[in-house]
Amino acid sequence: MRSLIDILDLSKEEIDDLIGTACDIMDHPEQYSEICKGKKLATLFYEPSTRTRLSFEAAMYELGGNCLGFSEANSSSAAKGESVSDTAIIVSNYADIIAMRHPKEGAPLVASMKATVPIINAGDGGHNHPTQTLTDLLTIYKECGTFDNLTVGLCGDLKFGRTVHSLIAALSRYTNVKFILISPDELKVPDYVKDQYLDPKNIEYSETEDLEAVIPELDILYMTRVQRERFFNEADYIRLKNRYILTPQKLVSAKKTMKILHPLPRVNEISVSVDDDPRAVYFRQTLYGKFIRMALILKLLEVQ
């Protein structure tokens, strides 16, 4: 019985397998529509995240399974003070697999130590969000056809944005991937991320504050939002939030084949006038998110 807590719990081969399964589901959805009949997914969401929860539930329904759960802590046993471990033990009796979202870092790991069914970390605070990374990877694979030899620009909050760190970790396993890290000085990628994933493998990367200067080089532009809760000072937040706003003008010099990704929801960092650009794939990304979650549920349930 396995859980998915951190994207690095999965080997590169396992990720490639998941992507293969997701592609097969996209090509032959009818072959998968009953495969989880009689199975139940519990979505234990201690904080609301409607998009992520709906993506998991849609994934389970499309596999022929069912869903149960709660969507905020107020309406759950947590409001009465039950521990995450106890809830995990009890829900293991009712469901075959659990997707857990929790505002505290490490809660899904705690749950996985006691649960008797697989746990999927659906986001633990700002810490890990492995299904977002799998979604990003499937998006890149479907849109670019490969992971190798890509120049990936990551733009915005690269300091607190853990989805960015996980994506760097996952992509660093492929051949000849180059990173361009675009952020204001205050929001640069922390040293430990470079020490862990980039420097030991001699992966080429550069850091810049200037998006427009580097946009022509990029195969992927991964935009992120700056989160208000990370700042003590409202003025800093506003200044940094408005630092990078992607507009059609900035895209003029970008490659025709470049793809724009964003984990969503966006605030203002991508102008709505970019949405109709064929390079904008961030809405398709949410569709890929459902398919990769289907593949993941199958893998963890060991359904053939």
Active site residues: 51-52, 80, 101, 129
Please report how close the Cβ of residue 124 comes to other proteins at its closest, in angstroms: 8
119 binds other proteins (CB under 8 A): no
Q: Which of residues 188-217 bind other proteins (CB under 8 A)?
A: 192
Binding range to other proteins, per CB under 8 A, among 9-17, 104-112, 214-222, 261-269: 104-112
Q: How many residues bind other proteins (CB under 8 A)?
A: 16
Residue from 52, 50, 60, 62 nearest 26 by CA:
62
Q: Which residues pair with 221 in a beta bridge?
A: 153, 260
Q: Which of 12, 37, 104, 201 binds other proteins (CB under 8 A)?
A: 104
Q: Tell me if 240 sits within 8 A of 187, measured CB to CB.
A: yes
Q: Tell me if 104 sits within 8 A of 125, measured CB to CB.
A: yes
Q: Tell me if 41 sits within 8 A of 95, measured CB to CB.
A: yes
The radius of gyration of the chain's CA atoms, rounded to the nearest angstrom, is 19
Q: Which of 44, 99, 100, 109 binds other proteins (CB under 8 A)?
A: 109
Please report how close the Cβ of residue 81 comes to other proteins at its closest, in angstroms: 10
Binding range to other proteins, per CB under 8 A, among 102-110, 131-139, 218-226, 275-283: 102-110
Please report how close the Cβ of residue 107 comes to other proteins at its closest, in angstroms: 4
Q: Which of 83, 172, 271, 286 binds other proteins (CB under 8 A)?
A: 83
User: What is the rounded distance in angstroms from the CA atom of residue 79 to the CA atom of residue 6?
Assistant: 27
127 binds other proteins (CB under 8 A): yes
Binding range to other proteins, per CB under 8 A, among 78-86, 179-187, 242-250, 292-300: 78-86
Q: What is the DSSP letter of 94?
A: T
Please report how close the Cβ of residue 45 comes to other proteins at its closest, in angstroms: 15
Residue from 126, 157, 143, 138 nearest 242 by CA:
157
User: What is the rounded distance in angstroms from the CA atom of residue 272 to the CA atom of residue 247?
Assistant: 8
Tokens of 19: 């992507």
Q: Which residues pair with 11 in a beta bridge?
A: none
Question: Which residues contact other proteins by CB under 8 A?
Answer: 83-85, 102-107, 109-110, 124-127, 192
